[in-house]
Amino acid sequence: MPHPDAVAPPTADAPTPPTVTPPTVTPSTVDGPEADLRPEARRELDAILLDGTLTYRQRVQRLAAFAENLRPMPPLRAATREALDARVICDMYEGNAPYRPRYLLPDYAAALANGSAYLELPPPRDLAEATWFLASMYANVPSITGYPVYLGDLDALLAPYADGLSEDAIVEALRPFWRALDRMLPDAFVHANLGPEDTPMLRAILRLERELRQVVPNLSLKVAPGVTPDDLLRDATETVFACAKPHFVNDPMMRADHGEGYAAVSCYNSLKIGGGAHTLVRINLKEVALRHEGDTEAFFTTTLPHDVEATAELMEARIRHLVERSGFFEHDWLVQEGLVQLDRFSAMFGVFGLAEAVNVLMERAGASGRYGHDADANALGHRIVRTIAGLVADRPQPYCDGFDGRAMMHAQSGIDLDVDVTAGTRIPIGEEPDLYRHLMAVAPHHAVFAAGVSDIVHFDDTARRNPDAVVDVIKGAMATGMRDVTFNLDSNDFVRITGYLVKKSDLAAIEAGARHGSTYLGAGNEAQAHCTQRATKRVVAAERQAGGRG
Amino acid sequence: MTLPRPLPADAAARAVRLAPDGADAGGVRGLVSGTIPFSAVDGPGNRFAVFLQGCNMDCPACHNPHTIRVCDDCGACVDGCPTAALEVVGGAVRWRPDACIGCDACIAACPDASSPKARSVTPDALVAEVRPVAPFLSGVTVSGGEATQQATFVRAFFAALAADPTTARLTRFVDGNGLTPPAVWDALEPVMDGAMIDLKAFDDDAHRALTGTPVAPVKASIDRLAARGLLHEVRLLIVPGRNDAPDALHRAATWLAGVAPDVHVRVTGFRRHGVRPGASGWREPTAREIRGYGDAVRAAGLANVTVV
């Protein structure tokens, strides 16, 4: 924004600018040769090129998605294509010709230990070199968003370079790096992990988070009973009060599914370090239920298997294009240096709209119980999820050795285009029962969703005066088999949308443009799902941005 | 001014009347107006809160006045229920939760503004309700009403919590009005871990005006619990013009600082929400006034003060 004095208004004393006489003859203009575009595509292109509220990078990213989608999708059976067009199944608008995996989790520890030939960097020797080394890597790590979705388990990665430094000294040394993460990677899907061990590095990072209150990085704390002390959970809870981060993840449960080398990235996606997810394809259970004809049993024996197979086919086609045609796994530097390995990849099978599906089936069966409130409705929800999990476990997927040749279940937390359909297996916004019954209704799902599940737990402001109560709930949730726990407090400046954060002040300012790409998604989601329960904002951004996150 | 009056019916007796035929006929039962599985405002950490029916104070500023009096089975509410969720069986008014729409017409019809919906439970049955919630809890708090009015039940409930392996680690707290006599504390202290007590006014006349009861027993309870290391929190509810005189606040805080300098003190400004007509015209303090109350309390040397 220019300084207010930069363009001074004319004053009485100011000299009158010379009058410019317009040319009397306007030269005629001639259109240049134009690419062969359908009018609809031309409009889409102009919406990017002529929208000054988008930053340069946001435009470049959208242009790339536009260009990718000039190419047709990989071939699909007619029934699958029909389900996709009806958005019963959804490719997350990742783009028609995937040329990089959706989520990559580079093995940053190996890079720091060995240096990188591609980056022409030797192994770092101190904290400053280590942070610059990582920042250099981040600039070269792709993902569906164009930004790295995983920054590493930063406490563990950086602790060896801070040996002997006090917590205060670490805070001072790390502050420029932490600020730069938010400024260089302006996307709330950029995610760092911490824990489960308590270290001065971890404490310093939490302090920085409370001090800087940035959208980036999104943050998960791994929690292990007997390893993660209550005092650290309390510190993390105070951090949630300040900036709505971190998420809490159930470390023993994750290790059981993925082994020691896992991380939570983007929005609640738990994947293998040194690998990732080729793609995320999701099934809209609300639409599946609405299109279903017949009784509840037929839903399980006929409709679900049909639509799950359609989802799996779309997934397979996308994986094959990425691995067999794009050349990524032959040529990308992360692959060549062994920082990601194809055999640590799988794909994510997302489900959403469970609440509506359950309510539709209950109504058709003449029952009044609603998901989240009624034992029969909840049991039906659990049966749907377990049935899908069984079908997915029986359906081989190519190049998914990272999960025994199968896709991983994921409760997909929604994108901004979703209207009147609830994220993942959540209870609809505004319908949540009291917290205990809420957790009891959703906890049984968590075991199934190896690739992550999101249930956002709302606390009112009284919790701020009693952080130990929040710590109790975290420990209880883990003990009860919840995989991921995220809190939202009514009164801080952040609002958690589907799994990522936006600042309320940025939402309010969106018509003037926003620095974080994800703020646009947040604005769309805010308008569609009323997830802040506040007045909706006009949406200026194009919705079909490649790869609507999850 | 409302004067202290005896409870029209004893809570324990009503709990026995409501007991299913033959079930624990001779056993201890409690009369419970409600439970909350997660509470962040009833003591340390997350707590299972049990609200017992019946209170021996009669405060106009009470936010839950339907928990003060105990149903005496007069039946005045039965005909007023729009969904026939109330009936008189064997001389007792019984409530059918499945038919209830929660309109509270029963409370409006009650000459004592009481609720007929308080339920009768055994200690073991209440422990069974706590058990599945236990992983999420620091402890259990009994509140009210006035929990110590049902001390026999509370003692049995706490003992049962301590005996159950799932709930034994939970701390057991009493949230009370402080009128509790020494003999009742004698009975409860062996099975409880802490107490939170309201000090609704420091001077006797103000206390009588706000609660209908004298203040001396409340001070005695605070003194006693502090001496035994069981006083977790003292609440000061401040009503402008009734108990907010600076010198009274100062004397209350100075006395508290002498009795329990480290006790957690919660200073709360009066709110009209839910109160009966007697207090609905009382003025709520401004945010600035409430901050002033907090400052006055801290000035007396109390370090652990929260202003709400």
Is residue A313 very low, low, confident or very high in pLDDT (cuts 50, 70, 90)?
A: very high
**Residue A18's pLDDT is what?**
59
Is residue A28, in this structure, part of any structural domain at all?
Answer: no
Is A233's pLDDT higher than 70?
yes
Interface probe with B: pick from A432, A473, A490, most Cβ of B within 10 Å:
A473
Is residue A507 very low, low, confident or very high in pLDDT (cuts 50, 70, 90)?
A: low
Nearest to A434 among B38, B40, B44 (CB): B38
Is A537's pLDDT higher than 50?
no
* From A325-339, A388-402, B64-78, the region with the lowest mean pLDDT: B64-78
Q: Which CATH number fits domain B11-70+118-307: 3.20.20.70, 3.30.465.10, 3.30.160.270, 3.30.1220.10?
A: 3.20.20.70
- Whether A450 and A509 share a structural domain: yes
Which residue do the tokens 């805080």 mark? B253
Question: Does the beta carbon of B160 lie under 8 angstroms from any beta carbon of chain A?
Answer: no
CA B36, chain centre distance (Å): 13
Distance of alpha carbon B239 from alpha carbon B282, whole angstroms = 8
Distance of alpha carbon A47 from alpha carbon A542, whole angstroms = 8
Is residue A178 very low, low, confident or very high in pLDDT (cuts 50, 70, 90)?
A: very high
Q: What is the pLDDT of residues B205-259, one digit of tens each?
A: 999 999 999 999 999 999 999 999 999 999 999 999 999 988 889 999 999 999 9
- Whether A260 and A397 share a structural domain: no
Under DSSP, is residue A367 helix (H, G, I), strand (E, B) or coil?
coil
- Encode A471-501: b = buried (16+ Cβ within 10 Å), e = exposed: bbbbbbbbebebbbbbbbbeebebbbbbbbb
Is residue A372, in this structure, part of any structural domain at all?
Answer: yes
- Whether A243 and A340 share a structural domain: no
What's the pTM? 0.86
- The mean pLDDT value of chain A amounts to 87
Is A127's pLDDT higher than 70?
yes
Angle between helices A56-68 and A517-529 (to 10 degrees): 70
- Whether A236 and A259 share a structural domain: yes
- Whether A391 and A413 share a structural domain: yes
Is residue A28 very low, low, confident or very high in pLDDT (cuts 50, 70, 90)?
A: confident
- Whether A472 and A516 share a structural domain: yes
Strand segments (E) across A87-171: 89-90, 103-105, 150-153
Is residue A16, in this structure, part of any structural domain at all?
Answer: no
Q: What is the pLDDT of residues A398-435, one digit of tens each?
A: 999 999 999 999 999 877 777 889 999 999 888 888 88
Is residue B160 very low, low, confident or very high in pLDDT (cuts 50, 70, 90)?
A: very high
**Residue A8's pLDDT is what?**
43
Q: Which helix (H) or strand (E) holds A458?
A: strand A456-459
Is residue A509 very low, low, confident or very high in pLDDT (cuts 50, 70, 90)?
A: low
The predicted model gives A119-139 an average pLDDT of 97
- Whether A334 and A479 share a structural domain: yes
- Encode A377-401: b = buried (16+ Cβ within 10 Å), e = exposed: bbebbbebbebbbebbbebebebbb
Q: What is the pLDDT of residues B83-141, one digit of tens each?
A: 999 999 888 899 999 999 989 999 999 998 999 999 999 999 999 999 999 999 999 99
- Whether A250 and A393 share a structural domain: no
Distance of alpha carbon B238 from alpha carbon B269, whole angstroms = 5
Smallest CA–CA distance, residue A139 to chain B, in Å, is 42
String of DSSP letters for A418-444: --S--STTPPPTT----HHHHHHHHGG
Is residue A431, in this structure, part of any structural domain at all?
Answer: yes
Which of A218, A236, A265 is the endpoint of a domain? A265
Nearest to B138 among A468, A477, A479 (CB): A468
String of DSSP letters for A210-255: HHH--S-SEEEEEE-TTTS-HHHHHHHHHHHHHHS--EEEEHHHHH
Domain spans in chain B, listed from the N-terminal domain onward: 11-70+118-307
Is residue A476, in this structure, part of any structural domain at all?
Answer: yes
Is A503's pLDDT higher than 70?
no
Residues β-bridged to residue B34: B51
Higher-confidence residue of A146 and B163: namely: B163
**Residue A533's pLDDT is what?**
35
ipTM confidence score: 0.89
CB contact under 8 A, A476 and B40: no
Domain that holds residue A179: 103-265
Helix ranges (H only) for A246-303 are 251-258, 285-291, 296-298
**Residue B16's pLDDT is what?**
83
**Residue A535's pLDDT is what?**
23
Q: Within the 445-464 window of chain A, which residues sit less than 8 Å (CB to CB) from chain B?
A: 459, 462-463
Smallest CA–CA distance, residue B95 to chain A, in Å, is 22
- Interface contacts (A, B; CB < 8 Å): 58
Distance of alpha carbon A524 from alpha carbon A539, whole angstroms = 6
- Whether A288 and A226 share a structural domain: no
- For A270, phi then psi, to 5°, come to -100, 120
Angle (nearest 5°) at CA A448 between A444 and A451:
125
Question: Does the beta carbon of A26 lie under 8 angstroms from any beta carbon of chain B?
Answer: no
Is A20's pLDDT higher than 70?
no
Is residue A4, in this structure, part of any structural domain at all?
Answer: no
Which of A265, A295, A322 is the endpoint of a domain? A265
- Whether A391 and A451 share a structural domain: yes
- Whether A332 and A252 share a structural domain: no
Q: What is the pLDDT of residues B28-45, one digit of tens each?
A: 999 999 999 999 999 999
- Number of domains present in the structure of chain A: 2
- Whether A157 and A249 share a structural domain: yes
Is A465's pLDDT higher than 60?
yes
Quick check: bond before A160 cis, omega within 30? no
**Residue B18's pLDDT is what?**
86
Angle (nearest 5°) at CA A449 between A444 and A451:
155
Other C-beta atoms closer than 10 Å to the C-beta of A345 total 29
Angle (nearest 5°) at CA A276 between A98 and A69:
15
CA neighbor of B193 nearest in space, from B150, B232, B239, B157: B232
